[in-house]
Amino acid sequence: MVSEDSPLLTSTAHEAIYDRFAPDQKRWIVCIVSFAGLLPMFVSSTFVPSIPQIAKDLGSTHAVVSLTISLSILASAVGALVWAAYSSFYGRRSMYLWGMPFLCIGSCGVAMSTSLGSLLFWRFVQTFGCSGGIPLGAGVIGDIYKLEERGTAIGVFFGATLFGFAVAPLLGGAAAQYWSWRNLHYSLAVWGLLELSLVYLFFPETSHPGTLGIDKLKRRRWIHITWVNPLSSLWLLRSPNLFAVMLASTLVLITDFVLLVPLAFTIGVRYGITNEAIIGACFLPNGLGNFIGAPVAGRLSDIVVRRWRKKRNGVWVPEDRLRATWIGGLVMIPLSIGASGLITTYVGGPVGLWLNLLCLYTNGMGVDFVFNPIGSYNVDVAHSRSAEATAASAAIRSLILSAATALIIPSIEHIGVAWTNIIAAVLAIIGQGIIFLTIRYGDRMRASVDVGFSTIENN
């Protein structure tokens, strides 16, 4: 007779948690959170092509208006920590409902800005409001999909959200050229209202029953307001594993920023492109690479997990998922960004432009082949705090990228496009070396600092 504490019943009960939602309902949930995840991509990526027009309207310079990029990265870091930390107490649904009004108000504020000061303030509010899209979405998928399905689902989620990288710069450039950057931000406010309605009407709470902080209170008021320290999520990064993969993903993402942030001043100037809409269209190959690469990388990481579990006779080693990063981190990313710098420097005309667009596409795919397995790995090893682990990594990564972004254009001015890109390629290879060490010594690293890592029984 099977006892109540037997592995069979424990496994059955654990499986039931993931069977709360039917497959069609899970897909609908992924659709809603992907729609929300698209928003921060549009908020950030539509802004860059419109910088020249904003600078002209506000009587400022390109360099000064570009400060809003660094400010937005800071707002993303702060917002991700806040929404993720509170989602562990109040739930995912509540945080979506609280975040969207900030986005709507901030977007209207940006659209009505008449000075650089007001633009910076409302840009912070706008970005803060939508910054929960990625960590909350990753947490939701961890809530509803089992371990060996999770990579594919997160791949679909990242693929859908990164679709913003494919079309947002094009729309931002087109809006600046043919419409108005102000109307574009009013449109983002309307989008926020639509997302708010979808979440309110159709999105259920996905957190596992009994795991939320508010569920554990013996007494609570009808409106219960509790202080949750958003910085507590950062303490998860004392784990060598989580810190290592965060650093590796940051070094990889720097290549994206090195290619995209100065695009108007590198590819645009080199090939004589002055139309904002066309400059925005040059972002399209990178976003298309993201869009195609994310689901492929997610499915590949699930295949790797299943294959290595089979090799180990059913034993799960979390770091096995990171083996799916090799093709992106060692081949696609270093070659694409290094080649782009050399092509921009030495190859002119349409041939140089088309080769650069190919490099942008390859880099977009390569980044996903690293970023997606790392995102799934964070959810795997810190399943009970998956949104917080994702947000903590995103926050520190954003701060590093904020500083790195400020150095890109000065670096290009002092040492040129080619050497700047080669340095970024070397950094990406170093990141892959960090991943190799994490795969090799992951079990010892987890044992050295245990932040409440998940096991196969509760993942």
Whether 216 maps to a domain, the answer reads: no
Whether 16 maps to a domain, the answer reads: no
Q: Domain range spanning residue 55?
A: 21-206+231-448
Supply the DSSP string of 402-414, one letter for each residue.
HHHHHHHHHHHHH
Token pair recorded at residue 358: 């190919």
373-417 pLDDT tens trace: 999 999 889 887 888 898 899 889 888 887 888 788 889 989 999
Give the burial string for 7-44 (b: 16+ CB within 10 Å, else e): eeeeeeeeeeebeebeeeebebbbebbbbbbbbbbbbb
Supply the DSSP string of 289-351, one letter for each residue.
HHHHHHHHHHHHHHHHHHHHHHHTTT---GGGGGGGGHIIIIIIHHHHHHHHHHHHHH--HHH
Q: How far apart are CA 245 and CA 236, in angstroms?
A: 12
Q: How confident is the model at residue 448 (pLDDT cuts 50, 70, 90)?
A: very high
pLDDT at 44: 81
Q: What is the CATH number of the domain that holds 147?
A: 1.20.1250.20
Looking at residues 275-296, what average pLDDT do you find? 82
Of 167, 166, 139, 171, the C-alpha closest to 153 is 139
Whether 408 maps to a domain, the answer reads: yes
- The dihedral region occupied by 6, where left means phi > 0, alpha psi between -120 and 50, and beta the remainder, is beta
Q: Report the number of distinct structural domains present in the chain.
A: 1
Give the burial string for 412-443 (b: 16+ CB within 10 Å, else e): beeeebbebbbbbbebbeebbebbbebbebbe
Say if CB 248 and CB 241 are below 8 A apart.
no
Q: How confident is the model at residue 308 (pLDDT cuts 50, 70, 90)?
A: very high
Whether 286 maps to a domain, the answer reads: yes
Say if CB 232 and CB 82 are below 8 A apart.
no
Q: How far apart are CA 431 and CA 451, in angstroms?
A: 23
Q: Is residue 246 pLDDT above 80, yes or no? A: yes
Q: Which residues contact 354 (CB under 8 A, 6 or more apart)?
A: none
Of 243, 179, 232, the C-alpha closest to 377 is 243
pLDDT at 98: 93
Handedness of CA 202, 207, 213, 217 (dihedral sign): positive
pTM, 2 dp: 0.81
Whether 211 maps to a domain, the answer reads: no
Say if CB 420 and CB 341 are below 8 A apart.
yes
Of 358, 307, 303, the C-alpha closest to 335 is 358
Handedness of CA 41, 44, 50, 53 (dihedral sign): positive
Whether 457 maps to a domain, the answer reads: no
Burial-class residue 226 by CB neighbours within 10 Å (0-12, 13-18, 19+).
Answer: exposed
Whether 5 maps to a domain, the answer reads: no
% of the chain surpassing 90 pLDDT = 43
Rounded to the nearest integer, the mean pLDDT of the chain is 86
Whether 331 maps to a domain, the answer reads: yes
